[in-house]
Amino acid sequence: MKEGALKRQFFKKGAAALRNLIEIDQECYCCPICKRLYPYEGFDSGELTIEHAPPEKVGGKPLALTCKKCNSVAGYSIDKAVVQRQRQLDFTRAIMGQKSDFKGRGTFSFGGEKLNISFEVDNGIPSIKPLKEINDPKKLKNNKDYMMQLKQTGIWGRQEFSITSDDNYHIKHSNVGDLKTAFIICFAFFGYTYALHKRLSPVRKQIMNYSEEIINGYWLPSDPKVTQKHFICLTETPIVGLAVKLDNSTIFLPWLDGPEDFYKHLEENYIDKGPFTFQGRIYNWPISLEMNMDFMNTHNKQMQPTSSGLG
């Protein structure tokens, strides 16, 4: 579906959901992050943009609309950090032989010299190529001479070297990026009934103020023993909440009931106190803007859990 048609579809779905929840005179879409209302003119003027979760550059799918301000601010900061983190992770996996095809840039340290390189893996075969245009010619010559000397003396195999990625990322910003991804996924699945609830106010505030520390304990590395790649878990024990499984992390979000101060309770009782197991109802990620709670009825198959599981 073309972008314009998809945006129109999302606007209509959001406007219908909003009318199910509140009395409103005109057709409007509410940005789930900042809660600003946008009439149809906002759709035409480009004030609403398609939101991908996770970010599009790491394979995310279009799931909702957010306002241009919320999307562009995130795109320059937290989404960028998520993309750079994934590039660094891919670089590391390629170095360790876990990717059959890869292209990236890094720094090669060998024989007392550091060179800017292109690191590539083609059908499982790695190669290192110094980048002539951004390296000191003298360093290139010294490195080449040193390698020739090692080859001639037969001690090549006993030399140490290091390769590091050029992609650095801001850890806090990338964590808030994961928080935003989980929030958008849950908005697309549950709808305004969930996303605009007062218990989600600290989450929305953290996303908009990504450099501040408003909530803690929402991000944990995923347990490698959990084989299902992506899911939403409405946890029942040991705490009522949502656990959203991303590629490499699990994000905890408040539910409509449970602890009043969800993150304080989580931090005081579970975070940094050793591993803990959560159990609840498992749902698949949405494939589009579904907003199931806003259109709730007894025949809504999307709200039936796919399984009951552990994490």
Closest to 254 (Cα-Cα) out of 188, 193, 207, 198: 198
Asked which of 123, 149, 165 is the last residue of a domain, the reply is 165
pLDDT digit string (tens) for the chain, length 311 residues? 788 899 999 999 999 999 999 888 889 999 999 999 999 886 777 899 999 999 999 999 999 999 999 988 776 789 999 999 999 999 999 999 999 999 999 998 877 788 999 999 999 999 989 898 889 888 888 878 877 777 777 665 566 788 899 989 999 999 999 999 999 999 999 999 999 999 999 999 999 999 999 999 999 998 888 888 899 999 998 999 999 999 989 999 999 998 999 999 998 888 777 777 889 999 999 999 999 999 985 444 554 444 444 44
Residue carrying the six token digits 């449970």: 258
Q: Identify whether residues 137 and 268 lie together within a single domain.
A: no
pTM over 0.85: yes
Same domain as 176, residue 135: no
CA dihedral (211, 205, 285, 306) in degrees, to 10, reads: 120
Same structural domain, 200 and 224: yes
User: Is residue 3 within a helix (H) or strand (E), and if so which, with residue range?
Assistant: helix 3-21
Domain that includes residue 90, residue range: 85-165
CB 281 within 8 A of CB 180: no
Q: Which amino acid would we find at residue 202? A: P
The tokens for 115 are 């060179």
Q: Within this chain, do residues 35 and 140 fall inside the same structural domain, yes or no?
A: no
Residue whose pair of structure tokens reads 């549950």 in the numeric block: 190
Q: Which residues pair with 241 in a beta bridge?
A: 235
CA separation for the pair 239, 23 (Å, rounded): 34
Give me the helix-helix angle, 171-190 and 78-95, nearest 10°. 110
